[in-house]
Amino acid sequence: MAKWMSVAQVKEKIEESSAEEVTAHYLEVIKKSKINGYIKVSEKALEQAKKIDAEEHDGPLAGVPIAIKDNISVVGLPSSCGSKILEGYAPPFNAHVIEKLLAAGAVILGKTNMDEFAMGSSTETSYFGPTANPWDLERVPGGSSGGSAAVVAAGEAPFSLGSDTGGSVRCPAAFCGVVGLKPTYGAISRYGVVAYANSLEQVGPLANNVRDIAVLMDVIAGYDRRDSTSIDSKTEYQKALVEDVKGLKIGVPKEFFGEGTHPDVEKAVWNAIHKYEDLGATWEEVSMPHIKYALASYYIIAMSEASSNLARFDGTRYGLRENGENWHAMVSKTRAEGFGTEAKRRILLGTYALSAGYHDKYYLKALKVRTLVKQDFDKALSKVDLLMAPTMPNPAFKIGEKIEDPLTLYLSDVNTCPINLAGVPSISVPCGFTDGLPIGLQIIGKPFDEPAVLRAAYTFEQNTDYHTKRPLEVA
Q: For the chain, give percent helix, strand, coil, nearest 5.
A: 45, 15, 45
Is 168 an active-site residue? yes
Return per-residue pLDDT of the chain as tens, 475 residues. Answer: 888 999 999 999 999 999 999 999 999 999 999 999 999 999 999 999 999 999 989 999 999 999 999 999 999 999 999 999 999 999 999 999 999 999 999 999 999 999 999 999 999 999 999 999 999 999 999 999 999 999 999 999 999 999 999 999 999 999 999 999 999 999 999 999 999 999 999 999 999 999 999 999 999 999 999 999 999 888 999 999 999 999 999 999 999 998 889 999 999 999 999 999 999 999 999 999 999 999 999 999 999 999 999 999 999 988 999 999 999 999 999 999 999 999 999 999 999 999 988 888 999 999 999 999 999 999 999 999 999 999 999 999 999 999 999 888 999 999 999 999 999 999 999 999 999 999 999 999 999 999 999 999 999 999 999 999 999 888 7
d(CA 458, CA 452): 10
Q: How many helices (H) and strands (E) does the chain have?
A: 15, 11
Q: CA separation (Å) from 461 to 20, 91, 123, 421, 458?
A: 31, 38, 27, 28, 5
- Neighbour-count burial of 418, counting CB atoms closer than 10 A to its CB (0-12 exposed, 13-18 middle, 19+ buried): buried
Active-site option among 121, 144, 145, 148: 144
* Phi (first) and psi of residue 335, to 5 degrees: -70, -35
Class of domain 7-243+426-474: alpha beta
Residue of 168, 230, 297, 307 marked catalytic: 168
Instruction: Give me the pLDDT at residue 407, please.
Output: 86
Q: Would you call 86 helix, strand, or coil by DSSP?
A: helix
d(CA 86, CA 320): 6
E strands, 95-150, in order: 107-112
Q: Does the active-site annotation cover 428?
A: no
- Tell me if 156 sits within 8 A of 67, measured CB to CB: yes
pLDDT of 2 reads 84
Nearest CA among 455, 474, 411, 442 for reference residue 133: 474
Tell me which H or E stretch contains 253.
strand 249-253
Please count the CA atoms within 13 angstroms of the CA of 148 that sit on its side-chain side.
38
Are 38 and 110 in contact by the 8 Å Cβ rule? The answer is yes
- Cα separation values, 375 from 182, 183, 369, 382, 384, Å: 19, 19, 10, 10, 14
Marked catalytic residue, from 69, 111, 182, 446? 69
